[in-house]
Amino acid sequence: MGEDNESCKIGGMINQSPILILGSIGLDTIETKYGKRSELLGGSATYATIAAGLFSPIHLIGIVGSDFPEPAYKLLLKYTANTEDLIIENGPTFRWGGRYHGDGDDRDTLFTELGVFAEFDPVLSEQNRKARWVFLANIHPALQIKVLEQCQGNPLVVTDTMNLWIKTTSRELNEIVRCTNVLLISESELREYTGLDEVRDGAEKILMMGPEKVVIKLGSKGAICIDQNEEIKTGVYPVSKVIDPTGAGDVFGGGFISGLSQGLPIIEAMKRGTALASFCIEDFGMSMLDNITKSDIDERIALLEK
Ligand code: AMP
């Protein structure tokens, strides 16, 4: 990370700052109690980009294969301001399959086919190296490190992860956590990563590693942001039918960083993320997210306030 510029401050007023987003872009096959859908546009970066792209210019870093469908590409472009570092490579696109149990709190991964991701070696454009806001959506931490090493603008970094990396690549995960300003992590991942049962204890252990803040995603209980001084909580918008929970965390993250980059207080950024996530889970894939307006989001934020 660069040292010349003063780091972006959470709460600093920088409207319409571009956000660099790294993560997976792929095709998902999803089974829930409401049905099965195949080859849906998915991926951690895709969900985050659509959420954040409703508010901010997104510079997307990722890779898709030559089989990536044209309509999926067009949908992605709708929410992306800069695609200099979005590569189309000969070979198959990343694919992931998941099956949810019951009301959607638990899921099994049925398959993960890396395809062109296996050889992904991101080299950032000059413009993207200067980014001031970076969202490292869930992806192999070695790729997160590779991208961050190229960022010269001393950016504010929000990082997401998953249990797979806690189990398999903890050394690289520790490295990226040390360079992160805000870590997003689920309650169960926090326990697994820190070995501590109490949320506050786990968060404190992470704060000691470097992040200024830890946002713990509590699923149907909302989210809590913990730093050295305070704890800020949000609930959830009550959704009557959770059709497909895939991507809710990524959407929360996209909404959250777009709020921070526009100078919103933490609580407002969390509410934006929460409202967006509530739309995400109301249908399969991007169906709901791609059909909402800012006033739909504001309506849910207002209800969250009540
Ligand atoms: P979430 O429900 O927030 O865990 O995000 C689900 C999205 O993450 C899906 O659209 C998948 O395509 C993507 N995904 C699943 N496994 C991985 C992985 N190992 N690396 C990167 N992205 C993944």
SS3 59: strand
The closest-lying atom of ligand 1 relative to the alpha carbon of residue 140 is 20
The closest-lying atom of ligand 1 relative to the alpha carbon of residue 164 is 19
Nearest-CA residue for ligand 1 atom 13 is: 43
Quote the ligand 1 centre to 138 CA distance (angstroms).
Answer: 7
| pTM, two decimal places | 0.94
Contacts for 67 with CB less than 8 Å, ≥ 6 apart: 92, 93
Q: Is residue 12 predicted with pLDDT exceeding 50?
A: no
**Token pair belonging to 140:** 């192999």
- Ligand 1 mutation pick, 37, 162, 217, max ligand atoms within 8 A of CB: 162
Q: How confident is the model at residue 50 (pLDDT cuts 50, 70, 90)?
A: very high
Residue labelled with tokens 């949810």 = 100
- Ligand 1 mutation pick, 24, 75, 243, 287, max ligand atoms within 8 A of CB: 24
Mean pLDDT calculated for residue range 121-145: 97
The closest-lying atom of ligand 1 relative to the alpha carbon of residue 94 is 12
Quote the ligand 1 centre to 246 CA distance (angstroms).
Answer: 8
The closest-lying atom of ligand 1 relative to the alpha carbon of residue 46 is 10
- Ligand 1 mutation pick, 25, 30, 64, 96, max ligand atoms within 8 A of CB: 96
Question: Exposure of 102 by Cβ count < 10 A (0-12 exposed, 13-18 middle, 19+ buried)?
Answer: exposed
Q: Is residue 10 predicted with pLDDT exceeding 80?
A: no
* The predicted structure's pLDDT at residue 102: 79
Q: Is residue 137 predicted with pLDDT exceeding 90?
A: yes
At 76-89, the pLDDT tens digits run 999 999 999 999 99
Task: Specify whether the CB–CB gap between 183 and 154 falls below 8 A.
Answer: no
Nearest-CA residue for ligand 1 atom 22 is: 24
At 168-200, the pLDDT tens digits run 999 999 999 999 999 999 999 999 999 999 999
List, in sequence order, every residue forming a beta bridge with 86; answer none if it has no partner.
Answer: 62
* The predicted structure's pLDDT at residue 9: 42
Quote the ligand 1 centre to 20 CA distance (angstroms).
Answer: 18
State what percent of residues in the chain have pLDDT above 90. Answer: 90
Q: How confident is the model at residue 220 (pLDDT cuts 50, 70, 90)?
A: confident
Question: What separation in angstroms does the CA of 302 have from each of 36, 61, 233?
Answer: 33, 33, 16
* The predicted structure's pLDDT at residue 103: 72
The closest-lying atom of ligand 1 relative to the alpha carbon of residue 249 is 3
Ligand 1, pocket residues at CB < 6 Å:
24, 26, 28, 42-44, 96, 112, 138-139, 162, 164, 246-250
Please state, in angstroms and rounded to a whole number, the distance separating the CA atoms of residues 4 and 2: 6
- Ligand 1 mutation pick, 138, 139, 256, max ligand atoms within 8 A of CB: 138
Q: Is residue 5 predicted with pLDDT exceeding 60?
A: no
Residue labelled with tokens 């791609």 = 290
Question: What separation in angstroms does the CA of 127 have from each of 124, 152, 153, 166, 186?
Answer: 8, 10, 10, 32, 32
Average pLDDT value over all residues in the chain: 93
* The predicted structure's pLDDT at residue 282: 96
Quote the ligand 1 centre to 272 CA distance (angstroms).
Answer: 21
